[in-house]
Amino acid sequence: MALSTSVLPSDQTAPGTRWLAAMTSSKARTVQSQSLSVMTKAGTDKFFAELKAALEHAEGLLHSTTEDLGEARDKAREKLREASAKPKS
């Protein structure tokens, strides 16, 4: 009777190799996850910074428009007073 000479893959794996591969894979996933988290936070921070700038710009436009409307109102009142003060013929 002949003995089997086939070698199983697990017989060729050095002790700790599977554990190291699993840890390396886990570490890679952790780094990738952390990188994605950092990129997401950076994108979110940029979005909110741009949103804040847009709101500040809109607030400035609103303030300018309010001032312009106030000036237009004052001019209209002045013209109304002038027209009311003129003698009717």
- What's the rounded Cα separation, in Å, for the pair 18 and 23? 9
- What's the rounded Cα separation, in Å, for the pair 9 and 4? 15
Give the distance from CA 76 to its chain's centroid. Answer: 45
Q: What is the pTM (predicted TM-score) of this model?
A: 0.45
**Residue type at 36 in one-letter notation:** L
pLDDT in tens, 57-81: 999 989 889 999 999 999 999 999 9
pLDDT in tens, 8-29: 555 555 555 566 666 677 777 7
Tokens representing 23 are: 């840890």
Which pLDDT does position 87 carry in this prediction? 76
**Which residue reads 């300018």 in tokens?**
64
Q: Is the pLDDT of residue 4 over 90?
A: no
Which pLDDT does position 37 carry in this prediction? 82
pLDDT, average across residues 21-44: 78
Which pLDDT does position 14 carry in this prediction? 58
Tokens representing 32 are: 């990738």
Which pLDDT does position 39 carry in this prediction? 80
